[in-house]
Amino acid sequence: MHGSHAHHQHHHHHAHGGSSAALATSATLHCLTGCAIGEFIGLAIGVSLGLNPWITMGLATVLGFASGYTLGLLPLVRQGMSFAHAFKTIWLGETISIAVMELAMNFTDYHVGGVTTSSVFSLQFWLGYAAALPAGFVAAWPVNWWLLKKNVKQQCH
């Protein structure tokens, strides 16, 4: 996310044209990167400590939100925007996108068995995580497309 507010507006106008699918893909990959970092850390901690699967998924979700917000906030803060203004700029679009992505990722990981395994070294852990990533992307892509189209989500790559 680089550039000024005018840059934000410039991309929003393009979201209505033929590039909306590309913008949604870019926004969803950006979101997936943020979610995947926190999700992985939360899953690894929960599985390693032998926590209940629901507690593990809760931890993964909280950390997914934290890393997702951080990835959205850092470029804006680096360009000189205050933390409060940056958060106001991204919170709604990121919250909706991350929530959908986390729900899909945790649902998939739970049903594949990754969150219920006893070790991060088990194949089941990695199969669950590997299945959760595309599930999160597929669930969040149409949401991001809509958020961009309605100018709810900022897309500034």
Question: What are the structural domain ranges in the chain?
Answer: 5-149
pLDDT at 4: 40
CA–CA gap between residue 65 and residue 37 (Å, rounded): 10
Q: Where are the beta strands (DSSP E) in the chain?
A: none
> How many alpha carbons lie under 13 Å from residue 37 in its C-beta half-sphere?
12
Residue recorded with tokens 């934290």? 66
Say if residue 154's pLDDT is above 90: no
3-state secondary structure 16-56: CCCCHHHHHHHHHHHHHHHHHHHHHHHHHHHHHCCCCHHHH
Supply φ then ψ for residue 59, to 5 degrees: -65, -45
Cα separation, 85 vs 68, whole angstroms: 17
How confident is the model at residue 155, as a pLDDT?
Answer: 59
Given a contact cutoff of 8 angstroms between Cβ atoms, the answer to whether 126 and 114 are in contact is yes
Q: How buried is 119 (Cβ within 10 angstroms: 0-12 exposed, 13-18 middle, 19+ buried)? A: exposed
**Residue 2 near residue 156, CB atoms below 8 Å:** yes
pLDDT band at 18 (very low <50, low <70, confident <90, very high): low
List the single range of 4-18, 25-39, 83-97 with lowest mean pLDDT. 4-18
pTM of the model: 0.84
| Tokens representing residue 73 in the block | 């906030």
